[in-house]
């Protein structure tokens, strides 16, 4: 009897942990926080890696991002229940009530922002709070109103790059020079720009693949109407093309070297090619290629930039 009870308790605990991983959209959150940490390490004044600070930044980022995602799921539980890709989420399925989701979001958000303030600086804490608010309370309800939501959502999607940079430099203005270096703070904004532009072909590809689900839920996410059109593909191409010059800026500002510049250019051209194929073929298969290419893009680009970071005073 005792063994059976222990097994049942362990199963319940594992199920609850799994639900919280789903609530914070762990894979998405990890991708966002990965960018934040890499941009922190890319800052020119970070010359030695402090594992403790990296872990704190990662935890704080996961808490803030997880809080935003929990609010998103609590407020969209009815629409999530209509879609195949989201029907098994804990709140939508009824395994977790809305009060629990909001309580977690509140605690996680407060703790995450406090960690940013306590261990880094006020500017990074304020950026974290702003990103959380924009995603949870502006982008989330806007998805049912207008496709401009994708533009709005691209800001909290890219702000983590700036959060990581500001956590390291305590400098927000793009016109400042990072203290103790000759590198312009605009380099941090260039990293923000890379992730900001990346989101358009990435998200429109997802919206194309999941079009039927999104339409069922009443989400308006595709440009030029709520149907996948050549206008969608054309705009994806436009943003992918803009990624090329923006991707060169870390090299231009003296943050990274020539090798990473060419890697970034190659990655950007690859995304452009996939978007052009989407425009020509106009089908889900082509959209899926854009989607998976974009998943690969971020780790390739940011790790290349970090590996090729120019050491301080060289």
pLDDT in tens, 144-201: 888 898 999 999 999 999 999 999 999 999 999 998 888 999 999 999 999 999 999 9
H/E/C letters for each residue in 157-206?
Answer: HHHHHHHHHHHHHCCCCCCCECCCCCCECHHHHHHHHHHHHHHHHHHHHH
Give the pLDDT confidence score for residue 314 in this predicted structure: 45
pLDDT tens-place string over residues 39-52: 999 999 998 899 99
Task: Tell me which of 28 and 61 has the higher pLDDT.
Answer: 61
The pLDDT-based confidence of 299 (bands split at 50, 70, 90) is: very high
Residues with Cβ within 8 Å of residue 306, at least 6 apart in sequence: 38, 41, 42
Which domains are present in the chain? 15-307 (1.10.357.140)
Structure tokens, 304: 């290349």
Task: Tell me which of 12 and 260 has the higher pLDDT.
Answer: 260
Query: How many degrees, rounded to 5, is the angle at CA 294 between CA 220 and CA 148?
Result: 25
pLDDT tens-place string over residues 217-272: 788 888 866 778 899 999 999 999 999 999 999 999 999 999 999 999 999 999 99
Q: How far apart are CA 29 and CA 69, in angstroms?
A: 8
């Amino acid at each position: 009897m005792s063994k059976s009870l222990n097994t049942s308790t362990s199963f319940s605990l594992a199920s609850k942990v799994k639900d919280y991983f789903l609530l914070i959209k762990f894979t998405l959150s990890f991708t966002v926080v990965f960018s934040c940490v890499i941009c922190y390490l890319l800052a020119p004044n970070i010359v030695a890696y402090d594992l403790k600070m990296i872990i704190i930044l990662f935890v704080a980022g996961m808490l803030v991002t997880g809080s935003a995602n929990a609010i998103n799921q609590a407020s969209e539980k009815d629409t999530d229940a209509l879609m195949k890709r989201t029907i098994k989420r804990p709140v939508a399925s009824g395994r977790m009530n809305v009060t629990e989701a909001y309580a977690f979001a509140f605690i996680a958000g407060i703790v995450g922002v406090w960690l940013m303030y306590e261990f880094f600086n006020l500017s990074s804490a304020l950026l974290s709070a702003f990103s959380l608010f924009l995603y949870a309370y502006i982008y989330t309800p806007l998805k049912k109103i207008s496709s401009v939501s994708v533009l709005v959502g691209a800001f909290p999607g890219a702000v983590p790059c700036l959060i990581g940079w500001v956590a390291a430099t305590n400098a927000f203005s793009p016109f400042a020079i990072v203290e103790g270096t000759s590198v312009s703070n605009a380099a941090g904004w260039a990293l923000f720009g890379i992730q900001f532009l990346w989101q358009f072909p990435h998200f429109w590809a997802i919206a194309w693949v999941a079009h039927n689900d999104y339409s069922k839920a009443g989400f308006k996410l595709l440009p030029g109407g709520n149907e996948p059109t050549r206008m969608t593909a054309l705009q994806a191409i436009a943003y992918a093309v803009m990624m090329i010059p923006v991707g060169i800026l870390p090299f231009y500002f003296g943050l990274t070297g020539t090798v990473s510049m060419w890697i970034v250019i190659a990655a950007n051209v690859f995304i452009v090619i996939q978007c052009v194929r989407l425009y020509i073929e106009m089908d889900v298969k082509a959209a899926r290629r854009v989607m998976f290419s974009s998943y690969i893009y971020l780790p390739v680009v940011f790790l290349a930039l970090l590996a090729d970071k120019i050491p301080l005073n060289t």
